[in-house]
Structure 1
Amino acid sequence: MSEAALQQLGVTADEYVNFVSQRIQGRRLLYACLTLLLYDYLLTLRREIVDVWQREPRFSIAKVLFGLNRYYPILVYIIRVWIFSQTVFTNFVCERMIPFTGWSATVNFALVEIVLMLRVWALYGKSRKVGILFIALFIGALSSSFALRKLHPNGMYFAPMPPESLTQCTRSTPEEYFWLYLIGIFVETTIFALLVTKARAYSLRTSGTPLITALVQHGTVYYAVVLATLVLATASTVPAVLYQPIADANLIVAVTSVACNRLILSLRGLYFNRGALGSTAITTGPSTTRKDDIPLGNLPRPLSFGRGRAPRPHHQHQLSTFTETDIEGGISISRVGKHTS
């Protein structure tokens, strides 16, 4: 670019070269995120059809939430790829399209958190206290995110913003992203801590049931992946070389969407694939079990030594079962009768 053009933009040659390089890296990362979403979609499409859309009821809140988390990010990334493939941004792009795709990170994260909160709330037996806690946590996090989007905080220890003469549009500041990511880390950690606490209590009570074990394992993988991405995104607000590419690519949206979809499909697949559970239970007396309830594993049996068999203690246990309730977005706990071991 000529010296006259650089002077007109108000930047040096090095600033221009750095901006163009970071924009190219951001575009590549953006393409990678869209590829990840589409690739994961193709890999899990059959599972989605079988375990989500072909299951009763035909319409439920859980299916709506899943569909939004599944397809909304793909739409946003297609629009974002179209935006950043242009050399010159029009007023419509700057005033409408970029803000729309920028808000998508907050909207998508809110959808994911609703799904996860409903699952953990169900695990707590729809506890009123846990429900109030989640409502307060969700409203607080969402209102804080909206406030940050409007306030555009500024600081001096974050990546310098490229001039608007280069970006062509007013963009979110690194400080704004920093606090948004911290909010995400806090919410994710709170949900995961509640999940592990309750799941551990049920696991100790029922000697490690398949669905509880799967919920903790898959939930841990989900949390580890999302937390690592959030930490990376938070750290990227300091060095300029990372901030612009990750901000352009909206990295957290793709990762949280894929991770949440995988978690939902895995648990639903485990629930409906009853043979994989390999669990049987004998109930005595009247039972409140619904026909679609799945016992969570056998109660432990006494070991036998030598020729004789150890006497079987006749004490009673209460066996937990999982029941698929789509309204809750996942699984709920129900109690069934008394079981003798």
Structure 2
Amino acid sequence: MVLTENSLSCDYSVEEAFKNSMLTVGAVGHHLLVAYMDVISVTVLLYEVIVNLSSEIEHIWLRRWSFLTVLYLIQRYLPFFDAAGLILNHDFGANLSPRICSLSYSISGWSFLVGMILSEVILTLRVWAVWKRSIPVAMGLVVFFLACWVPGFVWSAQFLGAAKFTTFSNTAGCFIIGGRDILYLRWVLLMVYDTGILVMILIPAIAAYKRGRRSSELVNTVYQDGVIYYAFIFLTSVINVIVNVVLPPDLMFLLSSFERVIHSILASRAILHIRQVALRRSRETSRSTQQSMSQVLFTTHDDHGELPNSNPSSPNRVRSLSWMPHSE
């Protein structure tokens, strides 16, 4: 068989078309993998909100509002706007244009960043509380926070400004086709910050354990939740960095929604758990006080409701006075 220039050109065109079709199939497969992971993340978020809704109404909505309440509610429900709204539309939306894809992803990207920062602020405030609200510790936390998050803002702006998207007529969703490979740096800094905060909460927790001093349930809750939550966030950040470095570029968003949702869930649980324990302690203290008062009234009155003896040396009188708090 003699190969002519035309036949070679034809074979080359067929080969290129085949490669392009295979690349398209691979891109669609990766896109669906990311999309399904986003669906899983939103499902976890929705389930967690529904399960804890009654507790949230009791401990958040019906309590006196404060700055922390507003902070809680914003970071709690913002994922429904970015992860459940914009990102799922980005994954499954039909008849999207590259411009709409770029715009929606930019908005969701900034919303992701702001929401995660608010969640980190809540968790960081817990660490500051563990350190007895020390001013030097507060200053150190602020410097550390800015050092890890300000570069994240810069890299996010550079990444979102350079990202390019396309769409396929027979496939829903947006496909990233270009941009700067710097997004992983933001996850690296997040991992560094989580490591530092984990160490900050481990130091007093280990010190308290070594002293062998029994702490209140509220203090134990702060320690245990803080260590567990930050350890889990750190592990998620490590896996996210590995995904961004090792896997193909179109899988860089594989765990983005999951980490976004996890931050919101754990920060919310931290606040809810503390308020649950505090309210339970308050009720137990109130109940104990009422029982003690009933005991005093029972031992200081006779069957007719009268004091049996007004003599200060009376045993019943002594018992009643011994219950009363001593003034300093």
- Give TM-score, length-normalised by structure 2: 0.71
2-structure distance, mates of 1:119, 1:240: 35
1-structure distance, mates of 2:206, 2:125: 18
- Specify which of 21, 33, 48 is matched with residue 40 of structure 1: 48
- Specify which of 196, 207, 218 is matched with residue 202 of structure 2: 196
| 1:140-168: CA deviation from partner (whole Å, max 9, x where unpaired) | 22211012123449xxxxxxx99867755
Matched-pair contact (CA < 8 Å) for 1:192–1:223: yes
Match of residue 187 from structure 1: 193
For residues 169-184 of structure 1, what are the structure 2 equivalents within 5 Å?
173=180, 175-184=181-190
Quick one: which amino acid aligns to residue 58 of structure 2? V
For residues 159-308 of structure 1, what are the structure 2 equivalents within 5 Å?
173=180, 175-202=181-208, 204=211, 206-240=213-247, 244=251, 246-247=253-254, 250-274=257-281
Is it true that 1:18 corresponds to 2:21 in the alignment? no
State the structure with more CA Rg: 2
Distance apart, 1:80 and its partner CA? 1.3
Task: Give ranges in structure 2 of 5+ residues lacking alignment.
Answer: 1-11, 169-173, 289-328
1-structure distance, mates of 2:177, 2:77: 27
Quick one: which amino acid aligns to residue 20 of structure 1? V
Task: Rate the CA distance shift 1:88–1:197 in 2: closer, same or farther, 3 A.
Answer: same
- Specify which of 113, 119, 122 is matched with residue 120 of structure 2: 113
2-structure distance, mates of 1:171, 1:102: 16
Distance apart, 1:248 and its partner CA? 7.5
1-structure distance, mates of 2:274, 2:14: 57
Quick one: which amino acid aligns to residue 219 of structure 2? I
Matched-pair contact (CA < 8 Å) for 1:69–1:108: yes
Residue identity over aligned pairs, in percent, reads 20
Q: Secondary structure at the match of 1:273?
A: helix
Task: Rate the CA distance shift 1:51–1:191 in 2: closer, same or farther, 3 A.
Answer: same
Quick one: which amino acid aligns to residue 217 of structure 1? Q
Task: Rate the CA distance shift 1:139–1:6 in 2: closer, same or farther, 3 A.
Answer: farther
Q: Secondary structure at the match of 2:245?
A: coil
Matched-pair contact (CA < 8 Å) for 2:155–2:182: yes
Quick one: which amino acid aligns to residue 105 of structure 1? F
Quick one: which amino acid aligns to residue 142 of structure 2? I
Matched-pair contact (CA < 8 Å) for 2:39–2:88: yes
RMSD: 3.5
2-structure distance, mates of 1:150, 1:24: 26
- Specify which of 144, 157, 160 is matched with residue 151 of structure 2: 144
Task: Rate the CA distance shift 1:152–1:31 in 2: closer, same or farther, 3 A.
Answer: closer
- Specify which of 71, 89, 105 is matched with residue 65 of structure 1: 71
Match of residue 131 from structure 1: 138
| 1:86-114: CA deviation from partner (whole Å, max 9, x where unpaired) | 24432552342111112233212211111
| 1:202-251: CA deviation from partner (whole Å, max 9, x where unpaired) | 55374233222221211122122212211111110133369617448522
Matched-pair contact (CA < 8 Å) for 1:33–1:251: yes
Number of residues of Structure 1 aligned to a counterpart in Structure 2 = 269
Matched-pair contact (CA < 8 Å) for 1:148–1:176: yes
Task: Give ranges in structure 1 of 5+ residues lacking alignment.
Answer: 154-160, 282-341
Match of residue 96 from structure 1: 103
Matched-pair contact (CA < 8 Å) for 2:37–2:254: no
Distance apart, 1:170 and its partner CA? 6.2
- Give TM-score, length-normalised by structure 1: 0.69
